[in-house]
Amino acid sequence: MKIAVIGQSLFGQEVYKELRKDSHTIVGVFTIPDKDGKADPLATEAEKDGVPVFKFPRWRVKGKAIPEVVAQYKATGAELNVLPFCSQFIPMEVIDHPKHGSIIYHPSLLPRHRGASAINWTLIHGDKKGGFTVFWADDGLDTGPILLQRECDVEPNDTVNTIYKRFLFPEGVKGTVEAVRLIAEGKAPRITQPQEGATYECIQKKDNSKIDWNQSAEALHNWIRGNDKVPGAWILASLNCFVSLFLSAAKGQPLEIPGASKPGIITKAGLVLFGNDNKALLVKNLQFEDGKMIAAAQYYSSGSSTAVELTEEEKVFAEQMKAVWKSILSNVTRIEDSTDFFKSGAASMDVVRLVEEVKLQASSCQLQNEDVYMNTTFQEFIQMCIRKLRGEDDKEELVVDYVEKNINNMTIKMPHQLFINGEFVDADGGKTYKTINPTDGMAICDVSLAQISDVDKAVAAAKEAFEEGEWGKMNPRDRGRLIYQLADLMEEHQEELATIEAIDSGAVYTLALKTHVGMSIQTFRYFAGWCDKIQGSTIPINQARPNRNLTFTKKEPIGVCAIVIPWNYPLMMLAWKTAACLAAGNTVVLKPAQVTPLTALKFAELAARAGLPKGVINILPGSGALVGQRLSDHPDVRKLGFTGSTEIGKHIMKSCAVSNVKKVSLELGGKSPLIIFSDCDMDKAVRMGMSSVFFNKGENCIAAGRLFVEDTIHDQFVKRVVEEVKKMKIGDPLDRSTDHGPQNHKAHLDKLVEYCQNGVKEGATLVCGGKQVQRPGFFFEPTVFTDVGDHMFIAIEESFGPIMIISKFQCGEVDDVLRRANATEYGLASGVITRDISKALYVSERLHAGTVFVNTYNKTDVASPFGGFKQSGFGKDLGKRNCCCH
């Protein structure tokens, strides 16, 4: 079809490009004249393609079409006019001329919000739904028949900019092209606009955007975000950019505002304003009449920073930037320190270009558009860039409402709120629950309890960080540097992390320091090194001769990854799954176990302080039924990693399949066999057997759920084990001499008691233990069962506690014990202890498990992949291949 594109801007440019891809012939582009010597992007694109471009200053004079202009238009022979974004008045002689007439893109759901400020009024009215309409042009103002509509949710904190970038621009381009396709196929509808619900609002300009203070905080919020940067809602200075509801108490310097019911407050987070309902909202940025923008938190300190002296290398960068400014500001003869970017004619699309040019020159200098608006002169701009390159830029201070405790000869500071989009926030509705110290059964603190709406906010933040934020565009080496900085910060806080782990999960402090925290640090360091080594392949094509063509593959990040972890190793499970996701460039929404949320929240604080951008890490303490289920169902989550029970793993797998076929990795239950042959080193066998069962008080996914001991050494082995068990010190996990701490929580303790009762009932011999320790907290005695038959409940089901299950096998019956060891639906780990290397290899090759330990146990390493077979799950943690990529 022959099409005339009438309009302007980047939106018009994208529509033009997509129409050409759809094999339509663009017979002419009609756009606005050059401004300050610069052509509109639509004109630039068309001229590059050799398409005729017309830049009429106007189409009519005194209400009448200009004959010469109309004649030039008609000469193109257009069969359809497409108006993607047009600021000029187009006469009806042009609108009605083509065979198929004219269609117009409008950024609202007509008949609501007719007029040029449709997006603004969608937000000002607090609409829950927004969208766009492609309609047939008539002689009314946005009144023509509807051809196509698409709608989207309006988020509470959307601005004109965010909703435009997220939906109205990308989907609007697709929708306009789809409308043309329907016309070409003869399937385009003409639906008369209803009169009911029709609105028309005036164009928002500076003179009608002053704030009326006699409104609620929500109405003020909508007014400010609806006016956005242009025209900008104003008081003494213009308020614009990102605005969000702010409900917590504010402390800071007062700012008198004429007409307001009470003064505003300049805080570290921004400017707090109050509605007539005494509720509050937060303004992040301020813009003055001269166009200068600052962070609202800097209102009383703006302009006070000392200029930095540039090094020789930095002077070279400054000269490169001066050349970039000169190429953008082509009407300026010389770029001086005082040259103002906007006063010299730059527009919003020039801001985008400048930001991208900086990234090309210095990938580690990740600018946002607001950085340019806040540093408008060349000197301010260079100073800001240099500070960012040095890591000295003023970042928004992280606000943390700590719970502090003096314990373990230190003061630990624990965040207790949800962590969403770089901020600690209360759960929706202020919901909380108490996390319990298993050592004494007493509450540690109240923790925010995430709701479904909080999950949606966290996923949205992670998605924006991946698709629009600096994380997704960051150089892999810079990403690795940030992850390594995080590991360094974790190491600085390792004693605090280990103490929190001990009081929240019951882990013995010395083990928490070495394993829970120590291996977590190693994991982040290991994957930091993989960031710039995730590579594809180059593959010769057999059919390519004689051209010798090649194909190549790329590994790309998946997107938003959800992680659901258990309570036995709260920090280490977080590290195993999160580090790989981050290394590949993904973003994360993590649900810690509801009973052990505190180290995950402390990790979130350290991640923010290490410089990870907002939205990359999000932590949501809450129930599995609510938070875990929503993450499984969420359409914007592209992968879910889960460690937990087989029953829940099956449910998650089903939900992930039904929702959007998201990728899944599962590390589930285990009943790992350990086979001990009579030719073993008995001292080592006892030591490894004890470790395989009682390590981390038995709360260990790869724990040996069943020991098969050759009959000739069975009695000796049991005697030695019981002697060692009786030496174990049960007590406070913070006591350095404690061997065995409390079980994680009361419900688990009760299950262990019931588990042992089942064993006794079925006829197994309880050698020692089997009951709760009579003291405060959730302590359970290390337990040993012998004479366990293959049919018994305790031989089949996992205890996930300090319970050793011992069965005999006849001397020399290697294949028979292998059959018994493999007679389980689980396959996470296994082990063999023997001096005979041939026997060790024979057995290890035939054990059906993801990991086989030979003459050792519990030896995991960050470089070695970890995962299970059968109903113990699939997918791997750790190792080279676990970087979460497509």
Binding-site residues for NADP(+) sit at 565-567, 591-594, 624-629, 644-645, 751, 798-800
Which residues, other chains included, contact 796 with Cβ-Cβ below 8 Å and sequence gap of 6+?
671, 824
Q: Does residue 667 carry a catalytic annotation?
A: yes
Question: Could you give the C-alpha distances from 836 to 106, 154, 708, 832, in angstroms and in order?
Answer: 79, 68, 17, 10
Instruction: Return d(Cα 131, Cα 154) in angstroms, integer.
Output: 9
The tokens describing 337, both together, are: 């320190």
Residue 587: name the closest of 563, 622, 621 by CA: 563
Q: Which position among 667, 699, 710, 781 bears the catalytic label?
A: 667
- Coil, helix or strand at residue 571: helix
Tell me, what amino acid is at 395? Answer: K
Enumerate the β-bridge partners of residue 146: 135, 191
Residue 870: φ, ψ to 5°: 50, -135
Instruction: Return d(Cα 642, Cα 665) in angstroms, integer.
Output: 6
Q: What is the SS3 assignment for 455-497?
A: HHHHHHHHHHHHHCCHHHHCCHHHHHHHHHHHHHHHHHCHHHH
Q: Which position among 14, 24, 100, 106 bears the catalytic label?
A: 106
Instruction: Return d(Cα 642, Cα 656) in angstroms, integer.
Output: 11
The tokens describing 465, both together, are: 């960080």
Instruction: Return d(Cα 56, Cα 358) in angstroms, integer.
Output: 34
Which residues, other chains included, contact 433 with Cβ-Cβ below 8 Å and sequence gap of 6+?
446, 447, 449, 594
Residue 508: name the closest of 802, 734, 749 by CA: 734
Q: What's 785's DSSP letter?
A: E
Residue 710: name the closest of 846, 843, 850, 849 by CA: 843
Residue 178: φ, ψ to 5°: -65, -40
Q: What's 842's DSSP letter?
A: H
Q: Which position among 445, 561, 701, 884 bears the catalytic label?
A: 701
Question: Could you give the C-alpha distances from 787 to 273, 529, 780, in angstroms and in order?
Answer: 73, 49, 22
Question: Could you give the C-alpha distances from 660 to 637, 640, 667, in angstroms and in order?
Answer: 9, 12, 21
- Coil, helix or strand at residue 179: helix
Provide the 10 A C-beta neighbour count for residue 395: 12
Token pair 């981390």: residue: 696
Q: Does residue 811 carry a catalytic annotation?
A: no
Q: Does residue 396 carry a catalytic annotation?
A: no
- Coil, helix or strand at residue 26: strand
324 contacts 350 by C-beta, under 8 angstroms: no
Residues annotated in a binding site: 88-90, 142, 565-567, 591-594, 624-629, 644-645, 751, 798-800
Angle at 586 between CA 637 and CA 156, to 5 degrees: 55
Write out the catalytic residue numbers. Answer: 106, 667, 701
